[in-house]
Amino acid sequence: MFPQEAAKRDAARMTQGHAVYRQYCADCHGDRDPVTGSWVNGPQTGVVVPVSTLKTDPERVMFRHYDVLAGAMFTVFPSKHPFHFAREDIWPQPGEENDLSIRGYVNAPLDGMFLRAPYLHNGSVLTLAELINLKKRRDVFYRGDNTYDPVDVGFRSPDAPDARNYFKFDAAVRGNSNKGHDYPWAYEDLRRNPDDLAALLEYLKTL
């Protein structure tokens, strides 16, 4: 995709990054098989992680009517409609609609991650470097420019934003929190190892 970036790749760095990924990420997200090139789910892929564990923004699964949405979706769309999913694939599951403690977000495969910025379900993190806490997450940024950043992987926020051309994203607004998902380490964690994180970022670029 980005030949200049790919040319800089170094095999030892990639091995280091892959080891970090296997240790801290692959259980939940799965990994790409280096031989076949296809995605292999991990033991926890497809599982919903409660918001209380993940600590990303809760509004997406706590809003009023969330409890009735899955059932309504299942009954409203006729069986041949593309939005008619199997009932077990739509959360919350029958009988679990009112259990707030299990509401959360699903562990999904990360293939093609470089194409999927901004990150998290609410798009609150602009780059992968920030998502893995290699860099501090920006609390305010501007969308609308969409210049791609192949180094940090994601979008750049313009240096000279103006209200007319850009949308201001403020993580302090309800529903916009950029907190949580502090894997492998939170930014403030004393165990945080920037060298391992830089190697991890290089590996993520290949997914």
Residues contributing to the site for ligand HEC (CB under 6 A): 24-25, 28-29, 44, 49, 54, 56, 105-107, 110, 113, 116, 119-121, 128, 131-132, 181, 183-184, 204
* Cβ 68 to ligand HEC shortest distance, Å: 22
Query: Which residue sits closest to ligand HEC, CB atoms considered?
Result: 25
* Cβ 114 to ligand HEC shortest distance, Å: 10
CB nearer to ligand HEC: pick between 70 and 204: 204
Rounded to 5 degrees, what are φ and ψ at 88? -75, -10
CB nearer to ligand HEC: pick between 68 and 106: 106
Alpha-carbon distance 120 to 178, whole Å?
8
CB nearer to ligand HEC: pick between 104 and 142: 104
Question: How many CA within 13 A on the CB side of residue 72?
Answer: 6
* Cβ 183 to ligand HEC shortest distance, Å: 4
Q: What's the token pair of residue 178?
A: 């950029």
* Cβ 148 to ligand HEC shortest distance, Å: 16
Cβ atoms 131, 183 nearer than 8 A:
no
CB nearer to ligand HEC: pick between 84 and 185: 185
Hey, what's the torsion of the CAs at 135, 141, 146, 149, to 10 degrees?
A: -20
Name residues whose C-beta falls within 8 Å of residue 75's C-beta, 6 or more positions apart in sequence: none
